[in-house]
Amino acid sequence: MKIAHLKIPGNVFLAPMSNVTNLPFRLMCKKYGASMTYSEMISSDAVIYGNSKTMVRGISSEEDRPFGIQLFGNSTQVMKTAARKIEEMFSPDVIDINFGCPANILTKDGCGSALLQSPDKIHKIVKELTETLTTPVTAKIRILKDVEKTLEIARLIEKGGACAVTVHGRTRQQQYSGKADHSHVRRIKQELNIPVIANGDIVDELSAKEIFDYTGCDGVMIGRAAMGNPFLFKRISYYLMTGKELEYDEGTQRARDLREYFDLLEEHDLMHTVNIRAQAQWFTSGIRNGRHIRRNIATAKNIEEIIQSIQKISDRH
Ligand SMILES: Cc1cc2nc3c(=O)[nH]c(=O)nc-3n(C[C@H](O)[C@H](O)[C@H](O)COP(=O)(O)O)c2cc1C
């Protein structure tokens, strides 16, 4: 598929996730077949103030391409300045605007999903960013209860010049509860001309296929199910290509992946930016003897001990 002039080598995307989708994790998802990945969301205010912790989120590398950097904010002017700075510093393939985050820390300042209350402002932000940047602009939204209202926002995003829209099938009020409703994305896809990407509750091969079939979307975007599980992209791409499920040993795979992830964090000097224990827990969720290993991780005194507990997973399998 294509986003503006950009050729995307497939249609399975990694969702932007704070504290998850750093460069090493994106590289692993890419290696396993993610067609495109997004950075953790970046505050436009923090970009303007040059907050170094924030700027780390923009770090990328050539193997990471195509990648998007996601920006949030609520002042068009500040977002424009921040987006230009991001374009100059990191040259992302896409700049995505966050109109979906329901976290109070964003919505109290009128950012993220709070903007869904103000369709005209969404239009203005998209339009002005599109006019200011040479980088294609995309947007990520949540649904509103009323399909027509969601559709209206999607139309304004397209009219503003965005090159693609991602739709998470939950309302702001739902946060992460309930099931994602993909009827909105189906309706949006019927009407818009830009690529439409469906997001929410895609957890495996079958759910990916079902959502493609039901919505007719151009791409699917995976969030939580990929946490600690970058290999999911290989499984899904394989299934979409062949109609068959890939056979593999989950424990061995997860252990190998966690070790590689730690190595990449070291290589890119990013170990200090993540909560090692939390990341290790994700990589061990859902595996045999996982509870025992997670207990060891929780009480480990240092990274060496965490690595030793993980090592035991692959020794056992
Ligand atoms: C830990 C975490 C962090 C997230 N951070 C972001 C973010 O920075 N930007 C964003 O647009 N959405 C963010 N999301 C939402 C996801 O991108 C995605 O829309 C949501 O999880 C639904 O997809 P899923 O059902 O595949 O997880 C985050 C979700 C989680 C669980």
What is the pLDDT averaged over residues 123-151?
A: 98
- Predicted confidence at residue 215, as pLDDT, reads 98
CA of 150 to the centre of ligand 1 (A): 19
Tokens representing 80 are: 């424009």
- Predicted confidence at residue 314, as pLDDT, reads 59
| Higher-scoring residue by pLDDT: 67, 256 | 67
What is the pLDDT averaged over residues 284-310?
A: 81
Identify the weakest region by mean pLDDT among 29-43, 206-220, 254-268, 281-295.
Answer: 281-295
Query: Whose CA is closest to atom 5 on ligand 1?
Result: 17
- Predicted confidence at residue 291, as pLDDT, reads 83
Does the structure show a pLDDT above 70 at 248? yes
Which position among 29, 101, 111, 217 bears the catalytic label? 101
Percentage of the chain modeled with pLDDT above 90: 81
**pLDDT tens column, 103-115:** 999 999 999 999 9
- Does ligand 1 come within 6 angstroms of the Cβ of 199? yes
Contact criterion met (CB below 8 Å) for 138 and 166: yes
**Which atom of ligand 1 sits closest to the CA of residue 199?**
23
Per-residue pLDDT band at 60 (split at 50, 70, 90): very high
- Predicted confidence at residue 303, as pLDDT, reads 77
Does the structure show a pLDDT above 90 at 315? no
How many CA atoms are closer than 13 Å to the CA of 23, on its beta-carbon side? Answer: 23
Tell me the C-alpha distance between 204 and 69, whole Å. 25
Mark whether 101 is an active-site residue: yes
Instruction: Give the other-Cβ count within 10 Å of 189's Cβ.
Output: 20
Q: Any idea what the Cα angle at residue 280 is, between residues 278 and 281, rounded to 5°? A: 65
Does the structure show a pLDDT above 60 at 317? no
Instruction: Give the other-Cβ count within 10 Å of 242's Cβ.
Output: 9
**Which atom of ligand 1 sits closest to the CA of residue 168?**
19
Tell me the C-alpha distance between 145 and 39, whole Å. 28
Contact criterion met (CB below 8 Å) for 9 and 238: no
Of 214, 184, 224, 217, which is closest to residue 198 (Cα–Cα)?
217
Per-residue pLDDT band at 292 (split at 50, 70, 90): confident
Per-residue pLDDT band at 316 (split at 50, 70, 90): low
- Does ligand 1 come within 6 angstroms of the Cβ of 41? yes
Q: Which of 246-250, 264-268, 300-304 has the highest mean pLDDT?
A: 264-268
Does the structure show a pLDDT above 90 at 297? no
Tell me the C-alpha distance between 62 and 311, whole Å. 30
Residues contacting residue 195 through CB under 8 Å, at least 6 positions apart: 1, 2, 3, 163, 164, 165, 218, 219
CA of 69 to the centre of ligand 1 (A): 14
Percentage of the chain modeled with pLDDT above 70: 98
| Higher-scoring residue by pLDDT: 174, 251 | 174
Secondary structure string (H, E, C) spanning the chain: CEECCEECCCCEEECCCCCCCCHHHHHHHHHCCCCEEECCCEEHHHHHCCCHHHHHHHCCCHHHCCEEEEEECCCHHHHHHHHHHHHHHHCCCEEEEEECCCCHHHHCCCCHHHHHHCHHHHHHHHHHHHHHCCCCEEEEEECCCCHHHHHHHHHHHHHCCCCEEEEECCCCCCCCCCCCCCHHHHHHHHHCCCCEEEECCCCCHHHHHHHHHHHCCCEEEECHHHCCCCCHHHHHHHHHHHCCCCCCCHHHHHHHHHHHHHHHHHHCCCHHHCCHHHHHHHHHCCCCCHHHHHHHHHHCCCHHHHHHHHHHHHHHC
What is the pLDDT averaged over residues 167-176?
A: 97
CA of 315 to the centre of ligand 1 (A): 33
197 phi/psi in degrees, rounded to 5 = -115, 130
Query: Whose CA is closest to atom 26 on ligand 1?
Result: 223
- Predicted confidence at residue 148, as pLDDT, reads 97
- Predicted confidence at residue 257, as pLDDT, reads 92
Per-residue pLDDT band at 199 (split at 50, 70, 90): very high
- Does ligand 1 come within 6 angstroms of the Cβ of 201? yes
Q: Pairing mode, if any, of strands 137-142 and 164-168? A: parallel
Contact criterion met (CB below 8 Å) for 189 and 215: yes
- Predicted confidence at residue 252, as pLDDT, reads 83
Domain ranges of the chain: 2-242, 250-316
Domain 2-242 falls under CATH 3.20.20.70: yes
